[in-house]
Structure 1
Amino acid sequence: MNAPVAPASSASRPATLPEERVPWREKLAFGIGGILDNFGNAGLKNIANPIFNIVLGVSPALVGLMISISRVWDAFIDPIVGSASDNARTRWGRRKPFVAVGIVGCAVALPLMMFCPAGGSEASRFAWLMTAGLLFYAAYAIFVIPFNAIAFEMTSDIHERTRVQAVKTIVAAISGVGIQWIFPLTQNGWLGDPVRSVRIVGLGLGALYLLIGIVPLFALKERLFRQVSKQAVVPLRTSLPAALRSRPFRLLLLVIVLTHLGLNTVNALGIYVNVYYVHGGDAKAASIVSGWWGTVYLISTISLTPAIAALSTRIGKRRALLACLACVLTGSALKWFLFSPAHPWWQLVIGALLGPGLSGLWMLVPSMTMDIVDYEELQTGRRSDAVFYAISAWVGKCGLALSLFLSGLLLVGLGFDAKLGAAQSATTLFWMRVCFAWLPALTVIASLFTVARFPLTTEKMLRVRAELQQRRQPPASA
């Protein structure tokens, strides 16, 4: 039986209570940890085809297959890690032991991936990448699910949650500037030939994982550990179906799937459209423009994320998310017009639109998931923070895996052949551009209709929070 929801006794935008404010030290530590989350989730896939196909010569279809299988493996592990973390009762907490193990594993597996031999058979190179990819994404799952579950405990204020995610988004975006320049770094000769450069970069990334991972491990606190440690162990076979019965959660999962299928299936086409259509086969010139495109994307993300967080506080998360998706739709449609051989720098306008649109999306979706956890706690009396995050990550990674697999097949199906260089057929380039611009536009339109049906408004969540706070208060003495 559903618990009643108490009427709200405050305005729709009440001030955050002092005890619900997260100190800047903890916000920043969570944001720094988000650098590792960002690279594992998005950074590696963004450099996979340029590094493993263009530099190491592995077929784009096999690169897509490697990433997709690794992400399915990662996704399979997510709910198991989430349930294990929710039910852990160690002296160091529920989350931090997993975070520590995951960081070390990533720091070892990532350089191993970059040391893929440039010679030998394609089958042997694929086997190397596949093994290293499975190891990396297993460690990534062990790190990322408990790490993000900590954010669910940092505050119960619905708007402070968005501010916490905003800091993470900004810090991760700053780190993304470096990610955008990884491929150009392997092309300019500063570190030697491209293959040697890839290996040096891999060792550096492994060391950074260890150094950066120390910050959230020691700075973040598990605020609800004492309270939740009294909760009975909830097995995965119970918590998983319970989460999936939530209609608001299912709507949010659909948005995640649509976003991945629309954007990530064609994201890999960007470098190919730049190299072979915009720049006529000049990979070095294309890599410079791509680097600046990514830089503009990230600058717009960093500069406008605080405004999106403020907009969310003012008009609510649902309406703010609709505004972000509208930016993504506009940017996607403009790809058809602004990726131009006559004006290669016009494409930077698209980066300025997609930056705030997508950063707002990935800032608001976790914040809305936290609201769903509160809403479901009110209905069931149980909290399964990591399981909810794990399911959303699982769905996202399955969507990502499918999209990356499709992206490799798409390149092959469109007739792309790296051996032809600048002599790609006009038909291949035309359909590359069609898919690159209009496929994501269609899925974003579907996402707009889905978000419009999301039922947890600001007013409703304020009532949920008030009821939960009343329930958590110790009973008065007789």
Structure 2
Amino acid sequence: MNRLELGSKLGYGIGQAAEGLKTGAFEYILFFYYVQVLGLSGTLSGAALLIAMIADAVTDPLVASISDNHSSRLGRRHPFIYLSAIPMAFFFVVVFMPPDGLGQWGLFLWLTGFSILVRVAMTFFVIPHLALGAELTSDYDERTTIVAYRTFFSITSMSAVVPLSFWLFFGASEAFPNGQFDPAAYGPFALVLAVLIVLAIIGTGVGTHDRIRYLPRPVHAPETFSFGHVLSDVVESLENISFRWFFLGIFLYAVARGTQNALNVHMFTFFWRLAPDEIAAWGTAVLIGSVTGIFAWVYVARYLSKKYTYISGLMLWTSCMGLPPLAYLLGWFPEHESPFFLPLIVAFGGLALFFKGSQITSGSMLADVADEHEMTTGRRQEGMFFGAISLSSKASSGLGHLGAGLVLDLIQFPSDAVPGGVPEETLRSLAFIYGPVVLVVVFMGCYAISRYSLTRDQLVEIQERLRVRKVPHPSE
């Protein structure tokens, strides 16, 4: 089971659009909506999203363990994929439609509770779906191709949220020149995304359904579920040196990414003072950069190792996101009135997501670690590795959101701010966190990922030993 048909790759990849759309809405839109539109404090907004992400992160290894040990005629992964669609869509819509008059603590509880439900419902899809990708093939290069399809739909769908929202829902009107301040726009926005999420989840289940009979079954006997067993699995996964460094690198990267994503719309609206159609233009460039970047990095990955493909892309991505604010603070960036101002903002955005396409190798690196783990322990646990790395990513991204909220309150960013009405010193503090601070944290994460040690030759040897182990002995 090495090479897959195009239909199976597309069927698998399209599922990641569900998480991409949810993530785009939560990362780019939700924080701004609750802070600047509904008036919830930055600290409480960040704390609510952190709590939700921690709850989500805790359920990742739980769902991974349940899925790894599940047995049915639909295999280990597909039952969870099919059952997650409708609950996920319902909770997603509700989180964007709080009733009036809740007050600070009411909004905090609404955001916390329904964000948890959205994320847990999505976990029951995402973890089995990620594990499914590692099981579709054992070929070193084909794994990267499969992850490229998944990453393509993930990054493009996430990147599409900004242009989709600002072109269709947050456009300028007489009442709201900056449409992102219109409370009535968020309900239709959530409904449209919820429908697309359901279509993506059902589509990937149907698109990979014919592969169920080829998927590997657990090589160990199914185990009775327990929290202690889940904890021991997570600890066991961290005993793998390559995985341990990769885990740390993803943690640092996600802290930086969470902070930056939460502050994106604040930066566009208040620091760069972009109009809705200009933000949509930036989002369109990001979408184009995402699409072209995926294909370019698949080609690059043929010549660079997976590790260095991933690291080089992350370093270039964070440089494109962080250097424009730094240059502006130093007086090296064109002023707002310059004809070069908007083209440079748009170009750096497109380039940033072009370079982020290097993430195609991350899932493939984890699939290789799962092979090494099976050789060492005799246990096939793709779900646990993807669950553990998802735990790291989500918990740290939650810290990033909390950090963003604390920053807004510490610099006394006004909740009723209008573009052009925020003190210059406040805006400079915002840009310093968004640019140089994030840049340093991502570079620290890249150093950690550089310690990942599995190579192509090592994986070939590992897989050969696994094949020999699985061949029945003549006496049996």
TM-score, normalised via structure 1 length: 0.88
Structure 2: unaligned runs, 5 residues or longer: 177-181, 328-332
Q: Deviation at 1:109?
A: 0.5
163-172 vs 247-256, which deviates more? 163-172
Task: Tell me how far 1:318 sits from its aligned partner.
Answer: 1.6
Give runs of aligned pairs for residues 258-277 of structure 1, distance below 5 A. Answer: 258-277=252-271
Separation in 1, partners of 2:345, 2:96: 30
1:188 equivalenced with 2:138 (yes/no)? no
Structure 1 gaps, min length 5: 1-18, 280-284
Contact 1:375–1:461 (8 Å) recurs in 2: yes
Q: Which residue identity lines up with residue 325 of structure 2 in the other structure? A: K
Could you tell me which of 174, 187, 196 is aligned with 2:156? 174
Cα distance, 1:225 vs structure 2: 4.5
- SS of 1:228 mapped into structure 2: coil
Q: Which amino acid aligns with 2:444?
A: A
1:56-67 to 2 correspondence within 5 Å?
A: 56-67=38-49
Residues 297-376 of structure 1 aligned to structure 2 (within 5 Å): 297-331=286-320, 332-337=322-327, 338=333, 340-342=335-337, 343-361=341-359, 363-376=360-373
Once the 2 structures are TM-superposed, how far is the Cα of residue 118 of structure 1 from its aligned partner?
A: 4.4
Q: Report deviation, 1:155.
A: 0.6
State the alpha-carbon separation in 2 of the partners of residues 230 and 92 from structure 1: 19
Residue 204 and residue 301 in structure 1: after superposition, are their counterparts in 2 closer, same or farther (change >3 A)?
A: closer
| CA deviation map 1:162-202 (0-9, x unaligned) | 11111122223332353113542433278x98333211222
Q: Please, which of 387, 391, 414 is the counterpart of residue 388 of structure 2?
A: 391
Distance 1:385 1:222, change over 3 A: farther
Q: Are 2:285 and 1:296 equivalent residues in the alignment?
A: yes
* Distance in structure 2 (CA, Å) of the matches to 1:390 and 1:228: 17
- What are the residue-to-residue correspondences of 1:70-469 with 2, within 5 Å? 70-184=52-166, 185-188=168-171, 194-220=182-208, 221-222=211-212, 225=215, 227-228=217-218, 231-233=221-223, 235-279=229-273, 285-331=274-320, 332-337=322-327, 338=333, 340-342=335-337, 343-361=341-359, 363-421=360-418, 422-469=420-467
Instruction: Name the SS of the counterpart of 1:65 in structure 2.
Output: helix
Number of aligned residue pairs: 453
SS of residue in 2 equivalent to 1:314 = coil
CA–CA separation in structure 2 for the residues paired with 1:459 and 1:226? 23
Q: How much has 1:254 moved relative to structure 2?
A: 1.1
2:98 partner SS: coil
1:326 Cα deviation after fit: 2.9
| 1:93-128 per-position Cα deviation (integer Å, ceiling 9, x unaligned) | 111121222222101101111211344423222222
Deviations 1:122-155 (A, max 9, x none): 3222222222212111111111111111001011
Q: Deviations over 1:21-59 (max 9, x none)?
A: 121111111211000121233432211123333333333
- Following the alignment from structure 1 to structure 2, what is the Cα–Cα distance between the partners of residues 236 and 123? 34
2:28 is the counterpart of 1:30:
no
Residue by residue, what CA displacement relative to the aligned partner does 1:214-237 show, whole Å, maximum 9, x if unpaired?
A: 111122134664542664438424
Deviates more, 1:117-126 or 1:423-432: 117-126
Q: Distance in 2 between matches of 1:86 and 1:224?
A: 16
Cα shift at 1:243: 0.6
Between 253-262 and 288-297, report the one with greater CA deviation.
288-297
Counterparts of 2:246 and 2:387 in 1: how far apart (Å)?
A: 13
Paired residue secondary structure (2:275)? helix
For the structure 1 residues 226 and 50, does the alpha-carbon distance in structure 2 shift closer, same or farther, using more than 3 Å as the test? closer
SS in 2 for 1:181: helix
Displaced runs of 4 or more, over 6 A? none
Deviation, structure 1 residue 339: 8.0
Name the Cα RMSD after superposition: 2.3
Among 460, 468, 472, the residue aligned to 2:470:
472
Rate the CA distance shift 1:125–1:239 in 2: closer, same or farther, 3 A. closer
**Amino acid of the residue matched to residue 252 of structure 2?**
L
Deviation of residue 341 (structure 1)?
A: 2.3
Residue type of the alignment partner of 1:186? F
Query: Normalising by structure 2, what TM-score?
Result: 0.89
Q: Does the aligned pair in 2 maintain the 1:330–1:353 contact within 8 Å?
A: no
1:50-95, CA deviations, whole angstroms, 9 ceiling, x for partnerless residues? 3333333333332222211111111111111110110111222111
- Aligned AA (1:195): P
Q: 1:442 to 1:128 in 2, by over 3 A?
A: same
CA deviation after TM superposition for structure 1 residue 458, in Å: 1.6
> Does the 8 A contact of 1:57 with 1:118 survive in 2?
no
Which secondary structure state, in structure 1, belongs to the residue aligned with residue 303 of structure 2?
helix
Kindly provide the CA deviation profile for residues 7-28 of structure 1, in whole angstroms up to 9, marking residues without a partner as x: xxxxxxxxxxxx4112111111
- Of the structure 1 ranges 147-156 and 421-430, higher mean CA displacement relative to structure 2 is found in 421-430
Question: Offset of 1:448 from its aligned partner?
Answer: 2.9
Distance 1:398 1:209 in 2: 23
Letter in 2 for 1:215: G
Instruction: Report the AA paired with residue 15 of structure 2.
Output: G
Verify the 8 A CA contact 1:69 1:401 in the aligned structure 2.
yes
Q: Distance in 1 between matches of 2:236 and 2:55?
A: 23
